[in-house]
Chains A and B, each alone.
Chain A
Amino acid sequence: MSGTENKPEETTLPVHETPRGNVLVVAEQILGELQPVTIELLGAATLLAGKLGTRVLCVVMGYNLGDIPQKLVQYGADQVFVADDESLENYRTLPYRRVLIDMLDSLPEPPHVCLLGSTTTGRDLAPRIAAHFETGLTADCTELDIGPYEHKSKVDPTKLGLYPDCLYAIRPSFGESLKARILGPWKNPQMATTRPGVMIPLKLDLNRPGEIFKIPVNLKQPDYRLQVERVVREVSKGLKLTEADVIVAGGYGLGTVDGFTILKDLADCFENSAVGASRKVVDLGWIKYEHQVGQTGKTVRPKLYIACGISGAIQHRVGMSKSGTIIAINKDPDAPIFKFAHHGIVGDVYHVVPELIKAFKKQSKSEKQGVETVVHSH
């Protein structure tokens, strides 16, 4: 921003002094397991509340929450609002929506900012709350800040003027290679969801003081229109993408679903590895959704990322560009992925990947022999 160029006579604009409210984080837990994005959000909320000079509130909904409320305090919440009720055991839009709306209505003033994770839950719930309160919501943010904004558009003259403490919700604008700063200063709470794995959590502090309140759960008949019959957590499928040290990912350039067989073989050569995929191949049904990297809020940052036959659309790039080492294999030397990979191999995945596997099998064999030799010398 080139704020220094502002001419002094423009300061006649009205200043919209809004009271500085608190920063609310909507916590997320699945069957009693606190989700990492909540801890990250508490870190971001602490920074924002620090700039506003206000406090961090957190609301958590679920059943048999145990020590989760205390943990939320230890990770930065000044006040925790707890709805612990059997009807909240599994996430369902309408009951969670009801409790959150009632909680917000019970506050003496709306929070300045309200944050949720860009998860399947946060992206389900946040738009309902924003539409109910008719307030602004920005999805999948990668940065958050507080700062001033001068509204000069005369479309709505009542909005003209200076807004001193806006939430800056910053997100990649897909397809346009842009980062957009999105504001909604007219009304609180100013809402945003943030991508998991982006915000920096505070260190756990067992002595951090905080208050914990129970809040009522008063569901109405229409809130029961949808029931959860069962939840299946997929634990057997190996490592989650977000936790893997190495990701071997495939794209449309593989040409066929069978390409994932050799990618799996390559992934198996590494410790803590997982197989990833571009959206396009998930669209085609070549591989399941949980392998998809980018676009739907999933950001991965493994130490090593091997992209095979992936062209490198902006959505994919935003999802994985923070990886340690990025190696791309693609037949097309002009593929966009070579603009942000660290090492680019121009070649056929079906030739290069088997050669890599061969090299690694040899390596692990020779290392094993090395170990045996040492054992024998004893």
Chain B
Amino acid sequence: MPAPYDIFVLIKQVPDQSSKAGLNPDGTIDRAKAKRMLNPFDRFALQAALFTKKMYGGRVTAISMGPPAAVEILLEALEHGVDRGILLSDRRLAASDTLATAYALHKVVKSLGPFHLIFCGLQTTDGDTAQVGPQLAERLDLPQVTYCEDFAIENDQAKARRIIEGGVQYVKSDMPLLVTVANSYHHLEYKSFRGAWKVQRLARNPEELKKFITTVDLDMVQADPERCGLKGSPTIVAHTDKVGDIGGNCKMYEGQSVPELVDEVIKATNIKEFVKA
């Protein structure tokens, strides 16, 4: 049996963009009012972490940074079968850009001791930068596999398939290693009955819950507050413009029989020009 692996998975709570709640008329999101959800990309990171544990043994720790409400996604992660959750929550982190976020997260990781693997989602749906993973790897001086579609361990080496432009790369790497998982990673339906049962039990017993989810602040992980939040962020959003509706005047076809609709569209557009002779 190989040594059990210590596996970290980074997850984030994001506003639910499919819900209209919390959307201001000017197009900005009121994060206090918006419905919250687990970043969709992080589901694949959770799958990869839990599948790795299932195959090779070990312990999975979910780590998140956010307001106290982000404990919700750590509970969700527990339901799926992670072993424990860590939430970094501190007002001094407000307005952190990706570099400041990576700095703060690397302090959390360091406070947890040695590990083999860090899985992250490819990117978040609220920032869409895909930067925090690699920036964290830089801070921790780790090799990285981004856009990972498949992952395995052989002889204590990580093996992965990653997407490149117009193809894929097969790589092998020493551990510790940071992996960002693409949404084309598919291994198992990861909701675990035991996890769901555990969370139901914990929900009734806040004291017991504290054994599984720990909230830390910047001081507890020895992070320099000057390097977090607005002060620690080299980028600022200086200006925003509303994106107008592109195209705008959509010609609608409805209410007729399907053959009539199709006939009308074919006549009204240049679609026929593209049909194979």
Contact = CB atoms under 8 A, between A and B. Distances in A.
17 contacts: A127-B98, A136-B97, A137-B98, A183-B236, A187-B234, A227-B171, A229-B172, A240-B166, A283-B183, A327-B265, A333-B254, A344-B252, A355-B258, A356-B262, A359-B262, A360-B275, A364-B277
A87 interface: no
Contacts of B171: 92, 226-229
Contact of A296 (B122, B262, B268): B122
Interface string B248-273: 11111111001101110110111110
B252 A338 contact: yes
Given A181-B239, A227-B172, A340 B246 contact: yes
Residues of A in contact with B, size category: 35 or more
List of 7 A-B pairs having minimum Cβ-Cβ separation, nearest first: A136-B234, A346-B254, A289-B184, A127-B134, A136-B235, A131-B138, A233-B167
Interface of B is mostly: mixed
Interface in B206-254: 230-231, 233-243, 245-254
Interface stretch (A42-50, A66-74, A203-211, A267-275): A267-275
A180 B29 CA distance: 14
A332 to B, nearest CB: 11
A352 B274 contact: no
A304 B128 contact: no
B134 A182 contact: no
A91 B251 contact: no
Given A225-B174, A232-B167, A173 B240 contact: yes
B258 to A, nearest CB: 5
Interface in A330-365: 333, 338-348, 351-352, 355-356, 359-360, 363-364
B116 to A, nearest CB: 13
Contacts of B58: none
B242 to A, nearest CB: 6
Nearest to B162: A120
Given A229-B172, A345-B254, A246 B274 contact: yes
Contacts of A140: 128-129
A122 to B, nearest CB: 10
Contact of B135 (A128, A155, A314): A128
B185 to A, nearest CB: 9
B147 interface: yes
Contacts of B17: 174-175, 313-314
Interface of A is mostly: mixed
A178 B265 contact: no
A175 B98 contact: no
Interface in B20-46: 27-29, 40, 43-44
Nearest to B17: A175
Contact of A304 (B169, B231, B271): B271
B27 A176 contact: yes
Interface in A83-129: 90-94, 119-121, 123-128
A285 interface: yes
A231 interface: yes
A186 interface: yes
A119 B234 contact: no
B253 A343 contact: yes
Given A230-B170, A289-B182, A304-B270, A178 B164 contact: no
Contacts of B144: 93, 124, 128, 226
B28 to A, nearest CB: 5
Interface string A137-162: 11110000000010101011000000
B163 interface: yes
B99 A345 contact: no
B36 to A, nearest CB: 13
B130 interface: yes
A325 B270 CA distance: 8
A214 interface: no
A339 B162 contact: no
A131 B248 contact: no
A181 B237 contact: yes
B149 interface: yes
A54 interface: no
Nearest to A313: B17
Interface in A216-250: 222, 225-235, 240, 245-246
B274 A271 contact: yes
Contact of B164 (A120, A179, A313): A120
Contacts of A121: 164-165
A253 interface: no
